[in-house]
Amino acid sequence: MAHGTAKNKQQHYYTNNSGTPSYSSSSTSSSNSSAAAASSSTTNNENEPGDFLIGYGAFGVIWAVTDPRTSRRVALKKMPHVFQSVVAARRTFREIKMLCTFRHDNILQAVDILQPPSQVELFNEVYILTELMQIDLHKIIVSQQALSIDHCKVFLYQIFRGLKFLHSAGVIHRDLKPGNLLVNSDCLLKICDFGLARTEESDKTKRMTQEVVTQYYRAPELLLGTQHYSYAIDVWSVGCIFAELLGRRILFQASSPLKQ
């Protein structure tokens, strides 16, 4: 994937002492490295929106930042400790592959993957730039924002539209929930977070993990421990999301998978 960087430069984000992501550019020429870094460092002026934390979880931290190469506002996702286990590496690879491959109005797209450091021993985290969305559906549901039936229809239509695209590509998302549905002020919705997504198993005798999908949106067959499932688990999740949109509360909320 093209990085949009000068041939003789490496560009990457790092986290400064305050925890805020900053932009760094260093020349491959050792004699010019200090000058290049100084001239390429990012400064915020009064008219530019600042960088701020969007969210974080077990699998990464996401910031809203300005790409200094294009002045475009984007989301920067830091995925730490990506090589600490085979499971973590596989999850990271799946997400990167799908973000870079899919091109659809209702699927979040990667803008760029930033170059890792040249020293292999320092390469333990991945930075992905994606489209920047304004809010997720969970925050809308729990807010005081009025939601008409037309809003619900528009959101549901876009979820199914994006899901049809994924399923047509042979992909099961396996973690559909309001927090993984991003929305803009014009009600454009995009499905995100493909860390648990995988292609449907052509060998029906091969087992898949049942430890997928957030509990409240988990299909009955997953709760019963099956390791053979299909696209239907995503459709169940969408039904739960639709009910949550209408009622402004989680449809099936239990304290444990057993009670669920």
Residues contacting 145, CB < 8 A, separation 6+: none
Q: Would you call 150 a catalytic residue per the annotation?
A: no
| Structural contact between residues 180 and 239, judged by C-beta atoms closer than 8 angstroms | no
Among 136, 175, 193, 234, the one annotated catalytic: 175
As a whole number of angstroms, the distance between CA 72 and CA 70 comes to: 5
Q: Is 134 left (phi over 0), alpha (psi -120 to 50) or beta?
A: alpha
As a whole number of angstroms, the distance between CA 23 and CA 41 comes to: 6
CA distances from 93 to 87, 194, 260 (A): 10, 10, 31
Q: Is 115 left (phi over 0), alpha (psi -120 to 50) or beta?
A: beta
Residues contacting 113, CB < 8 A, separation 6+: 1, 3, 96, 100, 126, 127, 128, 129
As a whole number of angstroms, the distance between CA 202 and CA 32 comes to: 53
Structure tokens at 176: 């559909």
9 annotated ligand-binding residue: no
Residues belonging to the binding site for ATP are 77
Residues at the binding site are 77
Write out the catalytic residue numbers: 175
